Amino acid sequence: MRDADRTLSASSSVERYSFTQKDELISLYDESFHLIDCSPRHSKTYIIDSLVDATLWHVYPGLLAPKPKAAVEFVLASGVPRSVEIADATTRDRLALLIFRTPRGIGVVEVEGGATYRKASSDSDRALLLHQATHDVLTGLPNRRQFSDQLRGTLPVPNGAKLALMQIDLDDFKPINDTLGHGAGDAVLKMAAERIRNVLGEREVAYRLAGDEFAVIQWKVDQPAEAERLADAVVKAFKEPFTVEGINVFVGASVGIAIAPGDGNETEQLMKAADIALYAAKKDGRGLARTFSRAMLIVLEQREMLRRSLRTALQEGQFFVEYQPLVRLPSSVVGFEALLRWRHPIVGLIPPSVFIPMAESDGLMSEIGQWVLEQACRTATTWPAHFTVAVNLSSAEFLREGLTDRVAQTLDAVGLRADRLELEVTESVLLERTTDNLDALNTLNVLGVQISLDDFGTYYSSLSYLKNFPFDTIKIDKYFIKDLETDEKSQTIVRFVIALAHGLGMRVTAEGVETRGQINWLQKEGCDQLQGYFLGVPMPAAAIDEFLRQSSLAL
């Protein structure tokens, strides 16, 4: 056997159990049932001088009988050990065999002695307990414990050897649990594990670490080419939908690759490199594979610097608000949307798409959101009395207790009528705690606050939201507006949303309007309000008076 193969066998928990029993008859086979290793006594007993052409069926022809063969196939498929009894090909005596799953195929322990079945049963129980301790119950893959043992037992790799670690994370898995239930989620995880298993070759082992997180350890010399080939195969394996109870659902896979020894030659260092590469794959659009590079580490360090700075940005006055006009057709400004901005003292302007997810994950968004709400409402009190101000609510703010009380207290404190405030929420905030969300929206509606559903069509777009939640306005995302003049599919979708909203007594606002042609088309189709750079760019509060003086001519 090659050294890498020996490492793989010796570090596997089940195989480690097997070869501690030096006087036992033990043999190991790959998934094609070719013999890949055996104990010295087994080799001597069955006169095996070479592993070439030796198979499970040559060693134990009795396993070809229907029931024993079915047991072998069951172990290979399920990973659950089985005890079988066959006739010895030479003596015709009965042999008791314990068959168990290994990372590369199956293993066989030949049980000797008078009370064969009792001993086989005892060994089977022992192997089953070991299997349960080292394998994931749901998918049958080796679990985090075995993954950790494998990686620790392999690293550091010897000179000239290379090992690839792949961290795999499923994309868009959470909505399946949220919408279809955990039973459907479990079914998808089992199918996902099978898809990963099906693309593996020799010296490649998959593990389920937790939830929708998987990993693969690969022993190949031609790196990173071999790891990138396997990672691409994993990504492609998830392009087809999963069918759960007759429903097709799409779950992708993002993969981060790290290579030992170059990216790290000890466990924590290599896992950190693979995690950083996985993060890069998700930031680049998900459904991708990325190989670790030092540049990724620099980017991550910069993000961590921003994360630390974000904690003091509000106290140090680094946030400010800009306002983008909302125009009611044909040409009337009716309000502004408040847009949060962050000017870092060293880096400069930081895009909201970068810092808002950070603030949400770090629990800072509630405080920042409250500051934006107060600033926007105070500014709106200086506008004409019929103007509205729209403020975005992040999911972190919406799911925090006491939202309606905070909104009511803010309106009272600054003296703004409730009907002049429009709160914008996205569909993502409605996926959890549906009853509480409905109560909060209804309470805000009773207060007189307007509610807008932002970015409609870009998330899950369940029509049940429009039936059950009291929205005043639906905002069509700019994705459907940008090619509106030329793309018939976008035109059909926008017509449908306008008709649907009006049928439900809701207004429609189109975002991202950038041309006169888009305005003409939307006006013809009956869209109520527009927003976009053609009509007005985001501006500081001090510039609004001048914009309003010139807007009648500009529009």
Instruction: Give the per-residue pLDDT at 9.
Output: 36
How far is the C-alpha of 400 from the C-alpha of 317, rounded, in Å? 24
* Per-residue pLDDT at 59 exceeds 50: yes
Instruction: Give the per-residue pLDDT at 37.
Output: 81
Domains observed in the chain:
25-111 (3.30.450.20), 133-292 (3.30.70.270), 313-554 (3.20.20.450)
pTM: 0.56
347-376 burial string, b = 16+ CB within 10 Å, else e? Answer: eeebeeeebbebbbeeebbbebbbebbbbb
Least confident of 38-52, 135-149, 153-167, 205-219: 38-52
Q: How confident is the model at residue 507 (pLDDT cuts 50, 70, 90)?
A: very high
* Best CA proximity match to 452, nearest among 475, 435, 429, 476: 475
* Per-residue pLDDT at 109 exceeds 60: yes
Read off the pLDDT of residues 190-227 as tens digits, 9 standing for 90 and up: 999 999 999 998 889 999 999 999 999 999 989 999 99
Give the mean pLDDT of 505-519. Answer: 94
Least confident of 217-221, 327-331, 358-362, 466-470: 466-470
How far is the C-alpha of 540 from the C-alpha of 555, rounded, in Å? 20
* Per-residue pLDDT at 554 exceeds 60: no
Q: Are 389 and 422 in contact (CB under 8 A)?
A: yes
How far is the C-alpha of 98 from the C-alpha of 158, rounded, in Å? 34
* Per-residue pLDDT at 29 exceeds 80: yes
Look up residue 393 and give its two tokens. 């609510």
Read off the pLDDT of residues 459-487 as tens digits, 9 standing for 90 and up: 555 676 677 777 899 999 898 999 999 99
